[in-house]
Amino acid sequence: MKSFDRQDGKLVLAHILFAFGALLLGGIAGMMQGMVRGGASILPDFIGYYELLTAHGVLMALIFTTYFIVGFLYSGVSHTLGGKLLPAARKLGWAGYILMSVGTIIGVAVILAGQATVLYTFYAPMKASPWFYIALALVVIGSWLSGFGMFYQYRQWRKANTGKLSPLFAYMSVVTMLLWQIATIGVAVEVVVQLIPWSFGWVDTVNVVLSRTLFWYFGHPLVYFWLLPAYLCWYVVIPKIIGGRIFSDALARLSFMLFLLFSIPVGFHHQLMEPGISSFWKFLQVVLTFMVIIPSLMTAFSMFATFELFGRSKGAKGLFGWVKVLPWKDVRFFAPFMGMLIFIPAGAGGIINASNQMNAVVHNTLWVTGHFHLTVATSVALTFFGIVYWLIPVVTGRVLTPRMNRLGIIQTLIWCVGMFIMSGSMHTVGLLGSPRRTAYTTYDDHPDAVLWMPYHVAMAVGGVILFIGVVLIISNVIGLLRAPKGETEYPIGEVSESADHTPKYLERWGLWIGIAVALILFAYTIPLIDIIRNSVNAPGVRTW
Amino acid sequence: MHLHRLEKMWLAIGISMLAVFLIVLGTMAFSMGIQPPSEHHHTIDPAKVTETAPFDKPGFQLIGDRHYEAAMVAYAFGYDPATYEVEAGSTVDFTVTSSDVVHGFSIVGTNVNMMIVPGEISHISHTFDKPGTYLILCNEYCGTGHEYMKTTLVVK
């Protein structure tokens, strides 16, 4: 077994550790928010609820995820495309890391100083310090450099291996970073063209509807940027960990391409309840949104086909006999599996959210907060946690001990219990009308709002349990860094013998990018012209 | 590309259900008029809200039998007018704009839920059949006092 390249290991580890640092800070902020909303006034004078909320959103949704994803994808790109990164790819990786880190440090400092209490969606015309927007731009540009490094490595590999099918891990990494590249153009234009000049005072007003539209052009594919690396783990890594095979290489690639096509031209489903966009274009993007259900169904089928084929190969009998033979006591399987399981209600909730007029029932209520704490904070987060138990040993030349494995199982269970309580009460109280992103209030003891309080207290309890989960995963990461020396294999699944040959057109990038661009132009051109021509700009305000 | 027989069935059932669902949603939206709010473009200069009709005199106006038009301004951190009383069975056409940042407009216990964006005017109608004190709240973060931003509508 070839050990992981030491130089590349440092790059991967730097990303993973930064991600978990962000998780710890974001977790502290999250727990405190939960307690405040539950009625415990615990905040010191120098920090407010909304500063914590901004920090929580930025650190968890943008920083933890992006660092983890870049580190994880780089590890697999290095391993599957030649066993080490080319010098240029590695340099781009470090350059990206430095830019993102400078951006993160500036951003967090500005947030904690109370100069950017605008939440992670920073809706204009609330005007933050220009340094907040500059920090965000640095994070995005840094992530682009990281993506370029992966594209470069992939291209060079393909040149050197003409006619060969690229490794599935690398292919999926390229799709993920390509999705990110196309999606972040929206937020980059918003921040660089609209918000930075305006926050410096070089222009007086801002087109609010345009800024929101550009944000959500980015904001929805952002959630697929979180999800695709988790899917990558499910498709490529999990079959190896359980000792099975990948159900079909071709279908795995096709589902990733469909995600690339249908996760971008759909941002209006976050803007269903707002003025400035005609109902025809809202509905059209709702239809496009629901197209991602097709690759999601394909993914669910593949996962359970892999599990069942593996179980039957072990001699499992009956309709569900294969469930018993899965390696439930292996955290590298158990944590991502719980993520998959929770993705079933999480995905169903997402369908409700995007259902055009039905969105009125849940829009901006705690239901939505409950929803994405199931998707990103459980399905994605638990998969990422599950990855750590083999990724850190691989890149540092160590082994996972049975004790660490047990602690990992406990951590997973704590996370599920905490999330069940917190997200369950968020969903319920959201249906009753309790708004998201709101500090403790009973609206002058309005009877409806008073009835929400027990749910808010349950949210706080769930939040505290989740914080224990954060502390445990951090201590597990530290434990893994000090695990005994040894060799751990990078788990890459092999394709089942019965699977079909992968068609060449799945790797014709020009074709797929062309379709993606055509769909984006179709869904956005006319409404954007309308927004630019007919909107009235607004001056900036600081309301905190 | 070859698909397994069971996968074909699985996808066929899933995609058909999706198609039925979208047809139902589309029919409700376009032929029964159950649309998301504020589809059209109705703009206003956000710096001149207090000088522009009908927001120069925010309030409720009786325009028919138990039919009101409510011109309301959302601001950090409240709504103008602050409260109002209508009789049960009244239909209210809400016409709302913002004089500063983005706000929400949600009436607890109803499907009234829309965004108020500066520069734009949002519209929604609702018939209040049940008497009670309805809580109208801002469900989009708008600044330090966001959690205090609310008003009530009394239905007698």
A279 touching chain B per CB within 8 A:
yes
Query: What is the count of residue pairs from A and B with beta carbons less than 8 Å apart?
Result: 210
Q: State both tokens at A282.
A: 């809202």
d(CA B109, CA B54): 27
Asked if A360 and B37 come within 8 Å (Cβ–Cβ), the reply is yes
Task: Please identify among residues 56-95 of chain A the ones whose CB lies closer than 8 Å to any CB of chain B.
Answer: none
Q: Which residue in A has a C-alpha nearest to residue B106's C-alpha? A: A433
Q: Which of B101, B110, B149 to mutate: most A Cβ within 10 Å?
A: B101
String of DSSP letters for chain B: ----HHHHHHHHHHHHHHHHHHHHHHHHHHTS----S--S--B--GGGGGGSTTTTS-EEEEEETTEEEEEEEEETTEEES-EEEE-TTEEEEEEEEESSS-EEEEETTSS-EEEE-TTB-EEEEEEE-S-EEEEEE--S--STTGGG-EEEEEE-
> In sequence order, what are the residues at sequence separation of 6 or more whose Cβ sits closer than 8 angstroms to the Cβ of residue A23?
A59, A60, A64, A470, A473, A474
Q: For residue A382, is it within any domain? A: yes
Nearest CA in chain B to A504: B1
Instruction: Please state, in angstroms and as integers, the Cα–Cα distance from residue B155 to each residue in A321, A434, B66, B126, B137, following that order.
Output: 59, 21, 12, 12, 16
Touching B: A residues 375-434, CB under 8 Å: 432-433
Q: Is residue A247 part of a domain?
A: no
| Average pLDDT of span A268-290 | 94
Query: What is the number of other CB atoms lying within 10 angstroms of the CB of residue A313?
Result: 13
Write out the residue range of the structural domain in which residue A401 sits: 331-492
Facing residue for A125 by CB, picked from B39, B43, B118: B118
Q: Supply the pLDDT for residue A186.
A: 96
Which band of pLDDT confidence, cut at 50, 70 and 90, is reported for residue A1? low
Take residue B142 and report the two structure tokens written for it.
Answer: 């708008």
Asked if B18 and A444 come within 8 Å (Cβ–Cβ), the reply is no
Q: Looking at the predicted structure, is the pLDDT value of residue B132 above 90?
A: yes
- Does residue A402 form part of some domain? yes
Residue B33: count of CB within 10 angstroms of its CB: 8
- What pLDDT is stored for residue A228 in this prediction? 97
pLDDT digits (tens, 9 = 90+) for A145-155: 999 999 999 99
For the segment B40-54, the average pLDDT, to the nearest whole number, is: 90
> What mean pLDDT comes out for the span B49-77?
95
Contacts of A537 in chain B (CB under 8 A): 119
Q: Are A151 and A177 in contact (CB under 8 A)?
A: yes
Query: Is residue B1 over pLDDT 80?
Result: no
Q: What is residue A268's DSSP assignment?
A: G
Secondary structure of residue A118 in the 3-state scheme: coil
**Cβ-based neighbours of A353, under 8 Å, separated by 6 or more:** A269, A359, A362, A367, A368, A371
ipTM of predicted assembly, 2 dp: 0.94
Give chain A's mean pLDDT: 96
Mean pLDDT of A119-139: 97
Q: Could you tell me which of B93, B91, B57 has the C-alpha nearest to residue B73?
A: B57
- Of A203, A61, A63, nearest to A130 by C-alpha is A203
CA atoms of A538 and A209, how far apart (whole Å):
10
**pLDDT tens, residue by residue, A226-242:** 999 999 999 999 999 99
Which range among A177-186, A311-320, B98-107 shows the weakest confidence by mean pLDDT? A311-320
Report chain B residues whose CB lies below 8 A from the CB of A438: 139, 141, 146-147
| Residues in chain A closer than 8 A to B34 (CB atoms) | 357
CA A147 to chain centre: 16
Q: Which DSSP state fits A539?
A: E
Q: Looking at residue B121, what is its pLDDT? A: 95
| Per-residue model confidence (pLDDT) at position A496 | 85
Residue A427 domain flag: yes
Do the Cβ atoms of B135 and A535 come within 8 Å? Answer: no
DSSP state of A475: H
Interface probe for A, chosen from B113, B142, B153, B155 (most Cβ of A below 10 Å), is: B113
Helices A65-80/A208-232 angle, 10° precision: 40
On whether residue A484 sits in a domain, the answer given is yes
Give the catalytic positions of A in this structure.
220, 224, 371-373, 436-437
Please compute Rg for chain A using Cα positions. 23
Do the Cβ atoms of B46 and A441 come within 8 Å?
no
Residue by residue, what is the 3-state secondary structure of A273-326?
CCCCCCHHHHHHHHHHHHCCHHHHHHHHHHHHHHHHHHHHHCCCCCCCHHHCCC
Q: Which two tokens stand for residue B63?
A: 């325009």
Chain-centre distance for alpha carbon A353: 18
Give the neighbor-by-neighbor strand order of the sheet with B113-116.
Answer: B83-86, B150-155, B132-137, B103-107, B113-116
Q: How far apart are CA A385 and CA A332, in angstroms?
A: 8
pLDDT in tens, A44-90: 888 999 999 999 999 999 999 999 999 999 999 999 999 999 999 99
Instruction: Decide if A472 contacts A449 (C-beta within 8 A).
Output: no
- Residues A293-310 have a mean pLDDT of 94
Q: 10 Å Cβ neighbour count for A201?
A: 10
Q: Is residue A310 part of a domain?
A: no
Rg (CA), chain B: 20
Do the Cβ atoms of A273 and A359 come closer than 8 Å? Answer: yes
Cα A169 to Cα A76: distance, rounded to the nearest angstrom:
6
Using the structure block, give the residue that is written with the tokens 């956000």. Answer: B46
Nearest CB to A438; choose among B15, B102, B146: B146
CA nearest neighbour of A418 among A474, A480, A471:
A471
* Backbone CA torsion sign across B74, B75, B81, B85: positive
Q: Please report the pLDDT score of residue A460 as a whole number.
A: 97
pLDDT band at A256 (very low <50, low <70, confident <90, very high): very high
* Euclidean distance between CA atoms A234 and A160, whole angstroms: 29
Quick check: is A268 in a domain? no
Domain count, chain A: 1
Of A294, A537, A544, the CB nearest to B143: A544
Helices A168-189/A208-232 angle, 10° precision: 170
Which of helix, strand or coil describes residue A398? strand
Q: With an 8 Å Cβ cutoff, is A41 touching chain B?
A: no
Homologous superfamily (CATH) for B42-155 = Cupredoxins -  blue copper proteins (2.60.40.420)
Per-residue pLDDT at B36 exceeds 90: no
Mean pLDDT, to the nearest integer, of A127-135?
A: 97
What is the pLDDT, as a whole number, of residue A322? 93
Whether residues A360 and B135 touch (CB distance < 8 A) is answered with no
User: Which residues, 6+ apart, have CB-to-CB distance to A45 below 8 Å?
Assistant: none
Distance, CA of B122 to CA of A273 (rounded, Å): 9
CA angle B21, B22, B28 (to 5 degrees): 95
**CB nearest to B108's CB, from A212, A250, A433:** A433
**Diameter of chain A by CA atoms?**
71
As to burial, measured by CB atoms within 10 angstroms (0-12 exposed, 13-18 middle, 19+ buried), residue A536 is middle
Predicted confidence (pLDDT) per residue in B67-98, tens digit: 999 999 999 999 999 889 999 999 999 999 99
